[in-house]
Amino acid sequence: MSSSGGESVMRRTLEKNLQYRPLTMEEREVMEKDVRQLKKVLKTQENNLKKLRSDNRSSMAIAVVLLICTFFFYGVYHMMFRQP
């Protein structure tokens, strides 16, 4: 995630330079190319983050189901083998 934050800062800096700094056509083309590449990387990282969040939700669901099953079986065991 730290690289994504750095890429975002670089992208904003490049976009500001494109807007406010007088550039030669060659410098402008290079910066526009860099901005396009950074946007592609950012989009890829956002998609990866969405997938990780989805995986995290499924892992959490499995953990909750296991926890509920554990309490259920403990309750059944406790009811069946409880000493009076």
Structural contact between residues 27 and 18, judged by C-beta atoms closer than 8 angstroms: no
- What does the alpha-carbon distance between residue 15 and residue 27 come to, in Å, rounded to a whole number? 13
Q: Indicate whether 70 belongs to any domain.
A: no
Highest mean pLDDT among 1-10, 40-49, 64-73: 64-73
Please check whether residue 40 lies inside any domain of the structure. Answer: yes
Residue 75 counted as domain residue: no
pLDDT tens profile 16-64: 766 766 778 888 788 888 888 988 998 999 999 999 999 999 999 999 9
Does 64 fall in a domain? Answer: no
Q: Which domain range does residue 17 map to?
A: 2-58
Q: Tell me, yes or no, whether 63 lies in a domain.
A: no
Domain for residue 76, yes or no?
no
Total tally of structural domains belonging to the chain: 1
Classify residue 29: in a domain, yes or no.
yes
pTM, to two decimals: 0.55
